[in-house]
Amino acid sequence: MAKKDKVVASEYELKERINQLEKALLNSELRATAYETMIEIAEKELKINIRKKSNTKQSPR
């Protein structure tokens, strides 16, 4: 029975860890959306480009 109890406890710990990771993922997604929205608003209101264009060349030094 002790081995079965350990398996059950291990399953419970894994499920708890999955729940924690899902919450962390959701928070990260919300944070990314908030940052994206802030950048969009700043670009519109300040009329400046904040995001770097991927095809731009670096200036010579």
d(CA 22, CA 33): 17
Higher pLDDT, 9 or 45: 45
Share of the chain above pLDDT 90, in %: 61
Number of domains in the chain: 1
Full residue range of the structural domain in which residue 13 is found: 1-48
Higher pLDDT, 39 or 1: 39
Is there a domain that residue 36 lies in? yes
Is there a domain that residue 54 lies in? no
Average pLDDT over residues 37-57: 87
pLDDT given at position 61? 67
Is there a domain that residue 11 lies in? yes
pLDDT digits (tens, 9 = 90+) for 10-26: 999 999 999 999 999 99
Average per-residue pLDDT in the chain?
87
Q: What is the phi/psi pair of residue 7, to 5°?
A: -65, -45
Is there a domain that residue 2 lies in? yes
Half-sphere exposure of 30 (CA within 13 A, CB side): 6
